[in-house]
Structure 1
Amino acid sequence: MALSDEEQRLLAQMEAALAAEDPKLVNALRGTGVRRVHRRRAAVAGVGFFLGLALLVAGISLKNDVVSIVVSVLGFVVMVAASVVAIYSWQHVGGPGAESAQTPDRATSAQGSRGGGDQGFMNKMEERWRKRRDESGF
């Protein structure tokens, strides 16, 4: 159900007041700054991975044995380092709450009671679906 013009105007006023009062909170809730940095870092790590792959292939194709081994090992090390940085950064890109602490549901599911957390999620989604269906009149 869409907001009326009056409700949209009030919401815009509240957002503007919150942004003026506490810009750090607004930035943290949006998460654009931190996610943008991690997304950029993951992209650079992807480029670094392909650079390491190119070094590895170039090292294999060289004729000199010592230089070939050094370049190949260097390429492999660059690939591994880029992979670690990419995985670490991509984990932090996540959704809107990625930079905040884990929620209690998430913490318990990570500790082993995975089935209960998934069932709670499914129940919430079913309830939202029922509300939408009831509100729309179908």
Structure 2
Amino acid sequence: MPGPTTGGSVPLSDHEQKMLEQMEQALAAEDPKFASQMQGSSLASMQRRRWLIGAVGIVLGLALVLVGVNTTMWVGAIGFAVMVTAAVFAATPPRRAALGVVRGDGSTAPHPSGGRKKGQKSFMDRLDDRWEKRQNNW
């Protein structure tokens, strides 16, 4: 029977997993900077995985381009598209999970402000305000 000193792991029950998720969300709500630092290692591993998949895609696309040179142009065009797609995939950062707010009963809800601080205007509202100012100055 594996114990804590032998390095074996025991899977968490559904209740324990739910409690752990709630604790993580509460920590992220209370101290987002600390929570993002703790997520850094998982984000780094996701980025390494994206780079690896992108590199494999670029090599596959290059192989298709070389086959297309010897056969038909369409195979080369598909290879080029695969290379570009793989490079874009590798260059973009992984998405972060949207965190919510933990309610008093233990359930979670999406963040009420939608990522914006109270009283802060959206990007489009600020653009509209700037456009109106510009029009009024003419």
TM-score, with normalisation over the residues of structure 1?
Answer: 0.41
**Bigger RCO (CA 8 Å, 6+ sep):** 1
Would you tell me which structure has more helix in proportion to its own residues?
1
Would you tell me which structure has more strand in proportion to its own residues?
2
